[in-house]
């Protein structure tokens, strides 16, 4: 009898598809690979963004008037995102479009008080990877996988405890010019800064394109 049960278990396991990553609940193998790639790239790009904090056009576009104190907070927040990703503590759950939080057209969402679980909605997987974009590529208007990860991790209380004061490139770049204080505590501002530092890294300053216009959403 026991031999039979063990054999049955063995057969059942053998017939299952390759195991998905245990850090990514509800995600299939392909989704797990995409998330793992995006976490790795997001970590590298956020570190580059932290190093790029300074009195630059990219900084002013997303965080408003430069001040040493504000820049220090921005740099610290970006570094906290890197530390969270580097620690391996960030996990993800693949939710259905009908699940709470994914029914409003969101790409991803988190509870700030539940680090480091990121809820990913099906549309997250349709976003382009940031490294595939070139300056001026309009697909960036709706965000990128890595930018979305930066946005969500910035919300966690042990990271940067950011808010959503605005959404979209046009609204957030306007808010930064009006209210730098709010910009440096705003999740989308960290996303766009990190994306722009990457897009425009190889562009001479004089050739930098203006911020992309807002896509309807």
Q: Which residues bind Zn ion (CB under 5 A)?
A: 164, 187
Dist. CA 92–CA 96, nearest whole Å: 13
CB of 109 to Zn ion, least distance (A): 7
CB of 164 to Zn ion, least distance (A): 4
Residue 13 CA, chain-centre distance (Å), reads 35
CB 119 within 8 A of CB 110: yes
Reduced to 3 states (helix: H, G, I; strand: E, B; else coil), residue 119 is strand
| Rg from Cα positions in the chain | 19
Closest CA to 203 of 7, 52, 25, 65: 52
Residue located via tokens 């910035």 = 154
Dist. CA 166–CA 189, nearest whole Å: 9
Residue 114 vs 164, nearer CB to Zn ion:
164
Residue 191 vs 198, nearer CB to Zn ion:
191
CB of 75 to Zn ion, least distance (A): 20
CB of 167 to Zn ion, least distance (A): 8
Residue 32 vs 142, nearer CB to Zn ion:
142
Residue 82 vs 187, nearer CB to Zn ion:
187
Taking phi over 0 as left and psi of -120 to 50 as alpha, with beta for the rest, 64 belongs to left
CB of 166 to Zn ion, least distance (A): 10
CB 158 within 8 A of CB 109: no
Residue 39 vs 190, nearer CB to Zn ion:
190
């Amino acid at each position: 009898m026991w031999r039979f049960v063990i054999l049955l278990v063995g057969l059942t396991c053998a017939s299952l598809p390759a195991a998905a990553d245990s850090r990514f609940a509800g995600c299939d193998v392909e989704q797990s690979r995409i998330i793992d790639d995006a976490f790795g790239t997001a970590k590298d790009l956020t570190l580059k963004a932290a190093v790029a904090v300074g009195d630059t056009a990219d900084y002013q576009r997303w965080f408003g008037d430069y001040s040493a104190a504000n820049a220090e907070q921005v740099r610290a927040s970006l570094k906290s995102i890197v530390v969270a990703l580097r620690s391996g503590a960030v996990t993800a759950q693949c939710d259905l479009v009908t699940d709470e939080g994914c029914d409003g057209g969101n790409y991803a969402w988190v509870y700030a008080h539940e680090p480091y679980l990121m809820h990913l909605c099906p549309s997250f997987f349709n976003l382009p990877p940031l490294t595939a974009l070139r300056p001026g590529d309009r697909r960036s208007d709706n965000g990128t996988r890595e930018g979305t990860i930066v946005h969500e991790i910035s919300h966690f209380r042990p990271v940067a405890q950011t808010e959503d004061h605005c959404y979209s490139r046009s609204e957030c770049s306007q808010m930064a010019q009006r209210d730098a204080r709010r910009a440096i505590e705003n999740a989308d501002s960290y996303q766009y800064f990190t994306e722009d530092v990457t897009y425009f890294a190889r562009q001479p300053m004089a050739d930098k394109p203006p911020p992309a216009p807002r896509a309807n959403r």
